[in-house]
Structure 1
Amino acid sequence: MGIISELLLHLQEDTSKVKTVALGCSEHIHYSGIMEVKSYIDNHPFVSFRLTELSNRAGMSRSFFCTLFKEMVGVSPIVYSNMSKINHAKKLLRQTGKSATEISYDCGFETVTYFFRVFKKVEGLTPIQYRNRSQRRID
């Protein structure tokens, strides 16, 4: 009986952020819980999560969940949640005429300032610069 030795885990849209993970017995047992939380985050990019809520969903202690999530996905649950929100924001910036402020709240960010800071950290552009660049590519 073998254990899955390697898995490719994709972080949303960006395939350059693929992480290969060697799973041990303990990680293998908890793999489905981590993947269920990852999927839940992906499907709810507008929700502000608490680590306790996510770890309970996975059926793990908060500390163990954070360690295992980072080991399997490559980033912490909060960073992953922010990346999911930014991917959702990018789609809204491309497909709607909503303001960056509206989009920040639609994506579950509590303040516009934090949204801009996270967006720029992830994308290297402000949301407005991203929208302008995306529109130029369409034209």
Structure 2
Amino acid sequence: MAREHAAWLKLAHSATVRKQQAAFTGATELPLTLVPTIGGMGGFDAVRSSGAFCVEGCMGERSGEVCQQMLVGAERRAARNSEAVQFRCPAGLFKIIVPVFVGGQHVGNVLAGPFSQQALDRGTLRRLTHRLRQWGLEKRLAGLRASWRYSPLLSDERSRSVATLLKLFADYLSELGNQISAREPRQRSPLLKKIEAYLAENQNRSISTRDLAQRVRLSPCYFCKLFKKQTGLTFTEYRRRERVEKAKRLLLDPYRRVSEVAFEAGFDSIPYFNRVFRRVVGCSPSAYRASVARTIQDKRLTI
């Protein structure tokens, strides 16, 4: 997992990525922040250092604590379904969060906002004042008004467009992160080499953790701990990634249907294959095939 998080740090400090963040803000009027996973390395301290203003709380006092709770819930929903999630902050404004996966690991998020979808009328202000009172923030009404005053107003259609742009940006970061992670040197232990050789010989068989643990003469529990320590992945996730790599090779054949690739790579379900492939690679199998085809065509044109 350290490799994946190292890739995320490189993304977050990339001059190119920062230019893209600035371009997004210029086009949408929304701040765009790269936020590390709250449950990952550094927790909220890492999130604060990323410049995620909402974590500090735009209304002062303990509004930051409430922001953190809402951000945690939104992050979990987004990561669980690998999709954009729109949620409200304590000030009643909206934000959109999209997870970024590198090597199948949730390493960070892109966060846009805040914005409103209606004017701050009396009814809305009354409801928000009641919520502030429940949180012990009734004295922060001036901060709430200021947050609304300086946040852009987006229609439903425009907020959906923003979510689409964020998802595309998150997919781009995932693909770039996977490339960075793949370039990092990895030392493979004799045990891991033995496991990889056995899996290669039996790639078309369904192999359980217990079967493989017996093969290398370890207890299943110790095998799982050792495997995770050496690879940064669970055995199940490792197998998924191996199958995705095989699928990527098979997709190079333009005459092979995606469904054939899925089953030949070891997946039992097309929707599951699409979901895992997107999470690991950062795009769908069809999009990956089209991207590779364009790259090959561009190389031919330059020869």
Whether TM-score is above 0.5 comes out as yes
Report the 3-state secondary structure (helix = DSSP H, G, I; strand = E; otherwise coil) of the residue aligned with 1:95. coil
**How has the CA–CA distance of structure 1 residues 44 and 96 changed in structure 2, closer, same or farther, with 3 Å as cutoff?**
farther
Counterpart of 2:279 in structure 1 is 121
Q: In structure 2, which of residues 220, 245, 248 is the aligned counterpart of residue 90 of structure 1?
A: 248
Q: Report 1 or 2 for greater relative contact order, CA contacts < 8 Å, sequence distance ≥ 6.
A: 1
Q: Is the 8 A contact 1:52 1:62 kept in 2?
A: yes
Report the 3-state secondary structure (helix = DSSP H, G, I; strand = E; otherwise coil) of the residue aligned with 2:183. strand
TM-aligned CA deviation for residue 38 of structure 1: 2.3
Q: In structure 2, which of residues 182, 187, 200 is the aligned counterpart of residue 15 of structure 1?
A: 182
Write the distance in 2 (CA, Å) between the matches of 1:46 and 1:116. Answer: 19
Q: Give 1:1-139 correspondences, 5 Å limit.
A: 15-16=182-183, 18-19=185-186, 32-139=190-297
Write the distance in 2 (CA, Å) between the matches of 1:101 and 1:135. Answer: 18
Deviations 1:16-56 (A, max 9, x none): 354569xxxxxxxxx54443112322454444321111111
TM-score (norm 2): 0.36
Structure 1: unaligned runs, 5 residues or longer = 1-10, 22-30
Counterpart of 1:8 in structure 2 is none
Write the distance in 1 (CA, Å) between the matches of 2:184 and 2:242. Answer: 13
The letter of the residue matching 2:268 is E
Structure 2: unaligned runs, 5 residues or longer = 1-102, 104-178, 298-303
Write the distance in 2 (CA, Å) between the matches of 1:18 and 1:63. Answer: 28
**How has the CA–CA distance of structure 1 residues 130 and 15 changed in structure 2, closer, same or farther, with 3 Å as cutoff?**
same
Q: Is the 8 A contact 1:41 1:84 kept in 2?
A: no
Report the 3-state secondary structure (helix = DSSP H, G, I; strand = E; otherwise coil) of the residue aligned with 2:182. strand
The letter of the residue matching 1:15 is A
TM-aligned CA deviation for residue 66 of structure 1: 0.8
**How has the CA–CA distance of structure 1 residues 120 and 17 changed in structure 2, closer, same or farther, with 3 Å as cutoff?**
farther
TM-aligned CA deviation for residue 59 of structure 1: 1.1
Deviations 1:50-107 (A, max 9, x none): 1111111111111110110111122111111111111110000013521111111101
**How has the CA–CA distance of structure 1 residues 87 and 17 changed in structure 2, closer, same or farther, with 3 Å as cutoff?**
farther
TM-score (norm 1): 0.74
RMSD (Å), alpha carbons: 2.5
The number of residues matched between the two structures is 119
Q: Is the 8 A contact 1:47 1:107 kept in 2?
A: no
TM-aligned CA deviation for residue 110 of structure 1: 1.1
Tell me the percent identity. 26
